[in-house]
Structure 1
């Protein structure tokens, strides 16, 4: 426990030492402590190192302490500070959406690589969550997008993120189940659906299991339920020559690839690994 005495005399450096000590059992605890302090003070990393010997107010220290205790209790830092960077862009996040992860940047990167960003296309992001995929694709292209999610709270956050990143005019947000809300066929279908097998949910890291939305994690008995449903609708949802791109979990790539091929309307597939060498993205081209 921290002593609540003379905390108004703490410098930023001393606050970092105290917060880092409290988070010592968490991976990258010192960096997390730095991020919490920078968030409370509204500082960049340059500010932090240039002003590290400035003194905190009681109010600033109290907020730092509260956030540090919550992080130590397992609440993800991104939910505490309400933001996460993805593909170099700022995104607001809260407990209604999955926290965007670096693995998903590979999905975005492949779509931008395989289709001309300067050629007008219609794109659907199914299960948009925070809007990270749709907003990033819109930011880096001239494409027109549909972002679909079944949860109203997720869609509200995704819309806010589209405004923050100045692409709201090219994204239409639709509430509904998977492909059902789409009003037209698309050139590109992209999705990072729930893919954790139900039996594995209890084995997830506590900060994921207890704090991120279950609906964004649970992919059914074998983790493939949503891929089956998406593949069942590809023939009606995607234009001839269109691109289908999915993020997948560890060990699922070849099964999802086969699901695409079993539709009878996919002529070519591609599996892409992440930086750890894990097969992470499955891509198909429609006949």
Structure 2
């Protein structure tokens, strides 16, 4: 096909994607994101011939998608809490359930206090940047063991024009000497035995170090909780995103470490899965 119309290109893409049993809607999403178009723009240009360079790029994008690469990595960005964030294969693609964790924090924590928040395992910086954008008076620290991820997160903070302090290090090591009011973390929590039921594109393209964890996915929760329990000045709140089968195990870890905790509660996401925990120490 030589220089098809946008409509013909979309029809071609849909057939290719359907053959690979993938989400057909992704063909339109990829086109709109590449062009910076709205759905209205597309409708107005349905019968317009695509420029040669756009058609060539679109064919490459669709082939990569059919080969299993997530659409967000193809275009180099994802959306989170109303923001467009840069993502690479050094960072996880932000998920909707993590947006719900941010919403829970905003609802739970006092908006007018000048809180000091630490986001551990920040990845693309999604949680930290969203919190700072919504609560400019909060001081936000964000850490990750991956230098490559921190580089992406710093670029995202700059693009969103928010002031977040980024640190490199393992779990609580970069923040253990700070007086932190709140710790939030969405760590790797997938057990190795769940690998077989996961989407192939996730396994092949998203960073393994940000996905999988030993001890049935619990090792990083256990380590963080043990480390925080040794802090001279402990935070007053901890928020975790968790796997949908991990609530009881993580609550037990928190209860054992903080016997005098005022509150330890779980929360379900919009799909009725238990995906978040809050501990008020």
TM-score class, shorter: over 0.9
Superposition misfits of 4+ residues, deviation over 6 angstroms: none
Q: Does 1:276 align with 2:253?
A: no
Unaligned runs of 5+ in 2: none
Q: Matches of 2:186 and 2:127 in 1, distance apart?
A: 9
Q: Matches of 2:238 and 2:152 in 1, distance apart?
A: 25
- SS of equivalent to 1:94: coil
Q: Does 1:96 align with 2:90?
A: yes
Q: Output one character per residue of 1:98-152: Cα deviation in whole Å (capped at 9) or x when no partner.
A: 1100011111111111102232100000000000000001100021111000010
> Are the counterparts in 2 of residues 189 and 244 from structure 1 also a CA contact under 8 Å?
yes
The residue that corresponds to 1:151 in the other structure is 146
Q: Output one character per residue of 1:171-211: Cα deviation in whole Å (capped at 9) or x when no partner.
A: 11000000001140211100000000122224321001111
TM superposition shift of 1:239: 4.8
The residue that corresponds to 2:166 in the other structure is 173
- SS of equivalent to 1:221: helix
Q: Does 1:15 align with 2:14?
A: no
TM superposition shift of 1:238: 8.3
Q: Matches of 2:199 and 2:265 in 1, distance apart?
A: 30
TM-score relative to the length of structure 2 = 0.94
TM superposition shift of 1:270: 1.2
Number of equivalenced pairs: 277
Q: Output one character per residue of 1:50-108: Cα deviation in whole Å (capped at 9) or x when no partner.
A: 22222101211111011101100100000001010011111110100111000111111
Q: Does 1:105 align with 2:99?
A: yes
Q: Does 1:78 align with 2:72?
A: yes
> Are the counterparts in 1 of residues 238 and 279 from structure 2 also a CA contact under 8 Å?
yes
Q: Does 1:46 align with 2:29?
A: no
> Are the counterparts in 2 of residues 95 and 211 from structure 1 also a CA contact under 8 Å?
yes
TM-score relative to the length of structure 1 = 0.92
- SS of equivalent to 2:94: coil
The residue that corresponds to 2:202 in the other structure is 208
Distance 1:237 1:103, change over 3 A: farther
Q: Matches of 2:165 and 2:218 in 1, distance apart?
A: 27
- SS of equivalent to 1:222: helix
Q: Matches of 2:169 and 2:77 in 1, distance apart?
A: 25
Q: Matches of 1:181 and 1:61 in 2, distance apart?
A: 47
Distance 1:239 1:187, change over 3 A: farther
Q: Matches of 2:231 and 2:95 in 1, distance apart?
A: 27
Unaligned runs of 5+ in 1: none
Q: Output one character per residue of 1:7-51: Cα deviation in whole Å (capped at 9) or x when no partner.
A: 12x11111110001111144431x211112123323122212222
Q: Matches of 2:229 and 2:16 in 1, distance apart?
A: 54
Return the match for 1:164 from 159, 162, 179: 159
> Are the counterparts in 2 of residues 261 and 267 from structure 1 also a CA contact under 8 Å?
no
